[in-house]
Structure 1
Amino acid sequence: MYKGPGLFTDIGKKAKDLLTKDYLSDQKFSVSTYSDAGVAITSTAVKKGGLSTGDVAAQYKYKNTLVDVKVDTESNISTTLTVTEVVPSTKTIVSFKLPDYNSGKLEVQYFHHHAALTTAVALKQSPHVDLSLTIGTPTFAIGAEAGYETNSGSFSKYTAGISITKPDSSASIILGDKGNTIRASYVHHFDHLKKSSAVAEIARTLSTNENTFTVGGLFAVDHLTSVKARLNNNGKLGALLQHEVLPKSLVTISSEFDTKALEKTPKFGLSLALKP
């Protein structure tokens, strides 16, 4: 296993997860089972407003190959094939979605002690190409990504970022949206297991001179229960409670309020994930 700087998508991921992961505005129920053949099957039902959707996903791993197949209530079939070490230090990912025959994508990730490179190509007549590169170490990393449309000969995106990671903290700065936004974040962990943390993020849109400042945190009440909260300068307050009702099985209750318009109906979400 290479201890390198990680992929470009890892820059700022800790702050993003603390501020967004597990926050819900709908009802979600999922059950996972495992067969003797090593197939993991997960059934999920989601209710958002008056609309209910669902899917069944199966995952099978054999040696260095991982196969994921998902079928939803709209008869869409999503398949992802992941193979590691086809070439040393690489991971190859092939994905497609039926009946959309133009949804296929081939991605190759290359890992080195001081670099990580990804190339993704859409498998269609006029492919879209994504390329990202990160150089550095597990402590310090700098990287960039770009998306290129071959049919128009133009860049659809370009982003650059830098991150500093220490055992008890991490910080990152990302220049995105073709240079129109700057996002800086800082995460501090209060214990070595990272079960209690604080996060702050500021995002500035250069074209409008608009700033968004968000603070949040994670606190472990005990070894089974944790709470999270976040608040931004627009008055949006979110909170969630997550409890392990059974080993590996979680119930999550979340809500979001607009503190500047308390007459508005708050958003509530509920999730129950059962695993054997």
Structure 2
Amino acid sequence: MPIVAFGDIGKAAKGLLGGDKATGTFQFDPKLSVSSTTSSGVAFTATATQKGETVAATLKAAYSTKKYSVDAAVDPSGKVTASASISELAPGVKLSSSAVVPDISTAKLTLDYVMPYAAAKATFGLTATPVVDLSASTGYQAFVLGAETSYDTAKSAVTKYNFALGYHAADFQFAALLSDQLKTLKLSYMHSLTSTSTVGAEVSRKLASGDTAFTLAYARKLTNGALTKFKLDGSGLLSALYETKLATGEKVTGSLQLQATELSKPAKYGFAVDLA
């Protein structure tokens, strides 16, 4: 089993609670996405999201092979985010870069190195005084241990350090993350009860103040292929999702959010349509 990178420790639980392709993403603003791929393999995705009285549109183009990938996205303000990567530059080495045009100071270079029993990642800002992000992980069988840190050369100071411990099995994940310069402890959990149902939870505690927050989630695939998901947090905020794929190929997602402890408050709702 390949070593899990630091950023992927507890990934399945993060996806269930925060949204991913496998378990759906809550969408509380009307959203329309149109995707297509040219004969040369370039994939285009146009997305329009309505926020209040305005509509924000983005356009993304991506091209990838087994070794190379290039993509660019234009946001509503006209900024272009571009990235490129080369895999297997050397055994286990991947090199990638990204930048937001016209703000060239955002340019970054990232080096990923995967070994049989360890994974490491280094990101350097391409400026005279860069921020350097470093992370590493190692493990044995289903257990993984990792750490990450950031060093700001302009301040000559370490600005971030986090530690994580995880257990990744085929149908079960657990992760403990000590973050915010050791001030916050997060425990997350995901369990595939059956081939169609998944549960998850996260508990976050500020160690200094003792403030604690929690989130629970449940996702289930129905017999007709549709996906449902429910999420409840400690404040009583309940979110529900229904996602299905029509016979003509379009994916439709509807979301609803309400305050379960105070039903008199107006509910939020939204939908997303993906045309492939």
Partner of 2:30: 27
CA–CA separation in structure 2 for the residues paired with 1:251 and 1:131:
39
Change (3 A) 1:197 1:248: farther
Distance 1:160 1:223 in 2: 41
Q: How many Å apart are 1:155 and its aligned residue? A: 1.7
Distance 1:162 1:63 in 2: 31
Letter in 2 for 1:220: K
Task: Report deviation, 1:264.
Answer: 2.3
TM-score by length of 2: 0.94
Query: In the aligned structure 2, how far is the partner of 1:142 from the partner of 1:84?
Result: 24
CA contact (8 A) 1:5 1:140 kept: no
1:138–1:101 CA distance, 2 compared to 1 (3 A): farther
Bigger mean CA offset, 55-64 vs 178-187: 55-64
1:82 aligned counterpart, secondary structure: strand
Please list, as runs of the form range in 1=range in 2, the aligned pairs for 1:170-249 lying within 5 A after superposition. 170-192=173-195, 195-246=196-247, 249=250
Superposition pairs for residues 121-140 of structure 1, below 5 Å?
121-137=124-140, 139-140=142-143
Contact 1:60 1:68 in 2 (8 A): yes
Aligned residue among 69, 79, 88 for 1:85 = 88
1:111 matches 2:109:
no
Other-structure match for 1:14: 12
String of CA shifts for 1:70-119, please: whole Å, max 9, x gaps.
12232111111011011211111100111111110111111112111000
Q: Which runs of 5+ in 2 are unaligned?
A: 20-24
Shift of 1:15: 1.0
Letter in 2 for 1:40: A
Superposed CA RMSD in Å reads 1.5
SS of residue matched to 2:246:
strand
Counterpart Cα distance in 2 of 1:116 and 1:222: 39
Distance 1:161 1:223, change over 3 A: farther
Q: How many residues align?
A: 271
5+ residue gaps, structure 1:
none
Residues 12 and 261 (structure 1), Cα distance of their counterparts in 2 relative to 1, 3 Å cut: same
**TM-score, structure 1 length as denominator?**
0.94
**How far 1:207 sits from its partner (Å)?**
2.3
Contact 2:10 2:168 in 1 (8 A): no
Identity of aligned residues (%): 31
> Which letter does structure 1 place at the counterpart of 2:275?
L
Contact conserved, 1:5 with 1:139, CA < 8 A, in 2? Answer: no
2: CA distance, partners of 1:56 / 1:114: 39
Which secondary structure does the structure 2 equivalent of 1:273 belong to? strand
2:258 counterpart of 1:260 = no
How far residue 255 of structure 1 moved from its aligned partner, in angstroms, is 1.7
For 1:221-276, what per-residue CA distance to the aligned partner results, in whole angstroms no more than 9, with x for missing partners?
Answer: 1252010001122111111001112576421111211123323222212111121x
